A and B are shown apart, each in its own frame.
Chain A
Amino acid sequence: MSNPRAVDPATQLVEPEHAFPVSEAHGALVTFPTGFEAKCDELITHYPVSKRSASLPLLHLWQETFGHISPQGIEWIAAKLDLQPINILELVTFYPMFRQHPIGRIQIKVCRTLSCALAGSYKLCDHFRERCGTATSDAHGIASSPEGKYAVEFVECIASCGTAPVIMINDDFHEAVTLQRADELLGKYD
């Protein structure tokens, strides 16, 4: 009379494959620099209709402050906005500009789009990668050097096509960058 229950290894269940290892979720926690939380609160006031709209600004602020968005960041921001962590994880995994792991401290973005490509940006990017000793790119297309100093990214048009090839190093913009200029520029950042 009993209900026959099948047991077959091919039907064995697998653990969910997560965007980050669960074990990391409560690993090394960052401590907030002074004023960080006040800044968050201030950003939230920009969205009086729905706090949820502050999700992206808070994610940007977190990434600017801590370099990447950790599980702690996702959970903290969700709690701050009265959301569930999955609501924030959805955004973090959608927008390519949000990173879930650290990258090099000095961030070099080389434009890869038409004008710059014609003006030699492929060679330029290779040059930077070689000089910075960066390894293969991660899921976001960013290659970081092993000691964590440099991160080189080949990006789409950064809107200065007339002065190709162009690059950005951190927040600074540099036009008509030759290989020689590239070396000079690298020397200026440390």
Chain B
Amino acid sequence: MKNPFNHDHPPADTPLVNVQIDGVWTQMPKGLNAVEAARRVGKFIPHYCYHPKLAIVGNCRMCLIETGGPKMDASRAPVLDASGKPEINWVPRPAIGCATNLTEGMAIRTDSPLVQECRRGVMEFLLINHPLDCPICDQAGECKLQEYSVQYGNDHSRFVEEKVKKPKRVDIGERIVLDDERCIMCSRCIRFAKDTVHDDVLGFTERGSHTTLAVHPGQRFDNNYSLNTVDICPVGALTSKDFRFQMRVWFLKETKGICTNCATGCNTIIGSRESTLYRMTPRENEAVNSEWMCDQGRLGFHYIHDPKRLTQPIARHGPETTPLAWSEIIPQVAERLRQFVPEQIGIVASGRLTNEEAFLVAEIRRVLGGDSVLTDYVPRFGRADGILRSADLNPNTHGVTLMGLSNGGASLADLRRSIDAGQIRALVVLHEDLTAEAGWDGATLQKLDLLVTLGLLQNPTTDRADFILPGASFAEKRGSMINGAGRLQRLNRAIPSPGQAWDDWQILLRLKEALGGGNGLHTIEEVFKAMAAQVPAFAGLTLSRIGDLGIELEAAMPKETATE
């Protein structure tokens, strides 16, 4: 992700300068701003309008600090103190930290009495017209105004006048709601819209004591990245329609995840409570998505709680369906599959499988007959937007390709023809609906003697299936995927699977064992290890070594699935 600004990451070759931060001398890249410099030595300068990825405008004044420079003697040489360090000449008035760029010999104080006094003043002004509707505000619990009030503000209000009234619950976009009374006019959202996603529709009207954040009349903030403004809005002025009033944020358990709605694989934080996923927010990863994600990806999780979710393993005998325990159904599936010769079996894999699942599918295929088992995956393409979204809508095309399950979709037609011709009589379909998504008609599926599906939702393919195996969604399982740029990243389990639905790797592993391929794998770590032993791209890796931010795979990724 290319940000117009990266104030927190100056170019590596930036020269260092000597600076004093709260009395301690250290070296920092020249030109770094004081907020970032303080952060690097573990000090925090509170700020509202400053954001490392946005233009610096210095309008909130929360980051006021004291600055100084070396004291010079008559011959313009620095005056040194007893320890040989330059003495500081402090500037008598405060300066904003976000727009203070380090120069040689600069000194800053981040927490002096003057600085504390400044912060109290800024907080008092910000709160004058604030509606203080924290009890019903979605931001409560992760609101900078609340946090800084506690840390840097006053313990009481001196304000006896009338508060300024402004528009509330304003519908400014498809997925976003504005409460102008809560807005502290930091302009982060305006700068994000304009500079990061080039959709300059937000602005301040009526500037003065009635400053109002607004969309231009007749325009809307419908941008596919609009919900990032909800994240960067320091207060509850911008809220997500999807998440509004759904859950108090402090009840949310946070799990590190990745978005599986396209091949970019934006890093996320999954917010869940008990077995419900409530929201996804971007997690910083400069190698992938920086601090952003698209709205489609962010909201593209509700299907996992769809009423059509499959929660019970089911076997069908003619018109009858029988719910079965996993221990019963897996041997039955294996038994039926064994009745076919390799040339009679087909597998439809999916770019939604994790590497581990794809590896196990490849193992099953080997047991069933290897290359004689016609196999492909279902490609899925949209349009790259030049910001984050990839044209490849499968999260793990590289992974299924690496495991030898993909022929780029070219074999799907052969598969279908062979079924229609009665050559292929058994089909295993993983996380795909062949009707709506691959465009097959039901007649082809009717020709099959055996159809086994593993997936999440009931659909026309599962309606025809002889065995329905309910799997786990991206938020319910562990495993890894390779994004479009060849980065190996991890999924983590945020919530349990509903009902009897089970981790796909467990299902696949048991099926493989039942087919006669027992190999002493018991945990996902062991599956990864077995995979790493076979797949050179993963040589030397373990699931834990992937880490939270993923790692660049050295092996070159196949070209035909490149994302942009």
Using a CB–CB cutoff of 8 Å, the interface residues on chain A facing chain B are: 1-3, 5-6, 8, 11-22, 25, 71, 84-87, 89-90, 93-94
Please name 11 further chain A to chain B contacts, defined as beta carbons within 8 Å, in addition to the given A3-B305, A14-B171, A86-B201, sorted by A numbering: A1-B276, A11-B245, A13-B171, A16-B172, A16-B214, A89-B203, A89-B205, A89-B214, A89-B216, A90-B205, A94-B205
Q: In the complex, what residues of B have CB within 8 A of residue A85's CB?
A: 216, 219
27 contacts between A and B (CB under 8 A): A1-B276, A1-B309, A3-B302, A5-B246, A8-B245, A11-B244, A11-B245, A14-B169, A14-B170, A16-B167, A16-B178, A16-B214, A16-B215, A18-B214, A19-B217, A20-B217, A84-B201, A84-B216, A86-B201, A86-B215, A86-B216, A86-B219, A87-B203, A89-B214, A90-B203, A93-B205, A93-B206
Q: Min CB distance, B281 to chain A, in Å?
A: 16
Name the interface residues of B270-312: CB closer than 8 Å to any CB of A.
275-278, 302, 305-307, 309, 311
By beta carbon, the residue of chain B nearest A95 is B207
Task: Judge whether B204 is part of the interface by a CB distance below 8 angstroms.
Answer: yes
Q: Min CB distance, A30 to chain B, in Å?
A: 18
The answer to whether B305 and A86 have CB atoms under 8 Å apart is no
Name the interface residues of B187-224: CB closer than 8 Å to any CB of A.
200-208, 214-219
State in angstroms the CA–CA spacing of A71 and B170 once bound together.
Answer: 21
Q: Min CB distance, A190 to chain B, in Å?
A: 36
Partner of B207, one of A6, A16, A93: A93
Q: In the complex, what residues of B have CB within 8 A of residue A22's CB?
A: 217-218
Q: In the complex, what residues of A have CB within 8 A of residue B201's CB?
A: 84, 86
Q: In the complex, what residues of B have CB within 8 A of residue A90's CB?
A: 203-205, 207
Q: Min CB distance, A24 to chain B, in Å?
A: 9
By beta carbon, the residue of chain B nearest A14 is B169
By beta carbon, the residue of chain B nearest A1 is B498
Majority-rule SS of B interface residues: loop
Q: In the complex, what residues of A have CB within 8 A of residue B40's CB?
A: none
- Closest 10 interchain pairs by CB? A86-B203, A18-B217, A86-B216, A13-B171, A93-B205, A84-B200, A94-B207, A22-B218, A90-B203, A22-B217
Q: In the complex, what residues of A have CB within 8 A of residue B204's CB?
A: 90
Task: Judge whether B9 is part of the interface by a CB distance below 8 angstroms.
Answer: no
The answer to whether A6 and B246 have CB atoms under 8 Å apart is yes
Q: In the complex, what residues of A have CB within 8 A of residue B208's CB?
A: 94
Partner of B307, one of A2, A8, A25: A2
Q: Min CB distance, A97 to chain B, in Å?
A: 14
The answer to whether B217 and A1 have CB atoms under 8 Å apart is no
Q: In the complex, what residues of A have CB within 8 A of residue B309's CB?
A: 1
State in angstroms the CA–CA spacing of A4 and B79 once bound together.
Answer: 68
Task: Judge whether B374 is part of the interface by a CB distance below 8 angstroms.
Answer: no
Using a CB–CB cutoff of 8 Å, the interface residues on chain B facing chain A are: 167-172, 177-178, 200-208, 214-219, 241, 244-246, 275-278, 302, 305-307, 309, 311, 498-499
State in angstroms the CA–CA spacing of A8 and B277 once bound together.
Answer: 22
Given contacts A90-B203, A93-B207, contact A6 B245 (CB under 8 A): yes
The answer to whether A16 and B217 have CB atoms under 8 Å apart is yes
Q: Min CB distance, A137 to chain B, in Å?
A: 17
Partner of B168, one of A2, A14, A89: A14
State in angstroms the CA–CA spacing of A42 and B215 once bound together.
Answer: 31
By beta carbon, the residue of chain A nearest B309 is A1
The answer to whether B169 and A3 have CB atoms under 8 Å apart is no
Most buried by A among B204, B214, B309, B498: B214
State in angstroms the CA–CA spacing of A12 and B302 once bound together.
Answer: 22
Q: In the complex, what residues of B have CB within 8 A of residue A18's CB?
A: 214, 217
By beta carbon, the residue of chain A nearest B172 is A16
State in angstroms the CA–CA spacing of A174 and B498 once bound together.
Answer: 84
The answer to whether B306 and A2 have CB atoms under 8 Å apart is yes
By beta carbon, the residue of chain B nearest A12 is B169
Q: In the complex, what residues of A have CB within 8 A of residue B307's CB?
A: 1-2
By beta carbon, the residue of chain A nearest B304 is A1
By beta carbon, the residue of chain B nearest A8 is B245
Q: Min CB distance, B164 to chain A, in Å?
A: 14
Q: In the complex, what residues of B have CB within 8 A of residue A12's CB?
A: 169
The answer to whether A19 and B169 have CB atoms under 8 Å apart is no
State in angstroms the CA–CA spacing of A71 and B219 once bound together.
Answer: 13
Q: Min CB distance, B371 to chain A, in Å?
A: 40
The answer to whether A3 and B276 have CB atoms under 8 Å apart is yes
State in angstroms the CA–CA spacing of A93 and B169 once bound together.
Answer: 22
Q: In the complex, what residues of B have CB within 8 A of residue A8's CB?
A: 245
By beta carbon, the residue of chain B nearest A2 is B305
State in angstroms the CA–CA spacing of A93 and B167 once bound together.
Answer: 16
Given contacts A84-B201, A89-B203, A94-B207, contact A25 B218 (CB under 8 A): yes
The answer to whether B170 and A16 have CB atoms under 8 Å apart is yes
State in angstroms the CA–CA spacing of A6 and B245 once bound together.
Answer: 7
The answer to whether B216 and A13 have CB atoms under 8 Å apart is no
Q: In the complex, what residues of A have CB within 8 A of residue B311's CB?
A: 1
The answer to whether A87 and B172 have CB atoms under 8 Å apart is no
Most buried by B among A8, A21, A93: A93
The answer to whether B278 and A13 have CB atoms under 8 Å apart is no
Q: In the complex, what residues of B have CB within 8 A of residue A94's CB?
A: 205-208
Most buried by A among B168, B203, B244, B275: B203
Q: In the complex, what residues of A have CB within 8 A of residue B218's CB?
A: 22, 25
Most buried by B among A2, A16, A19: A16
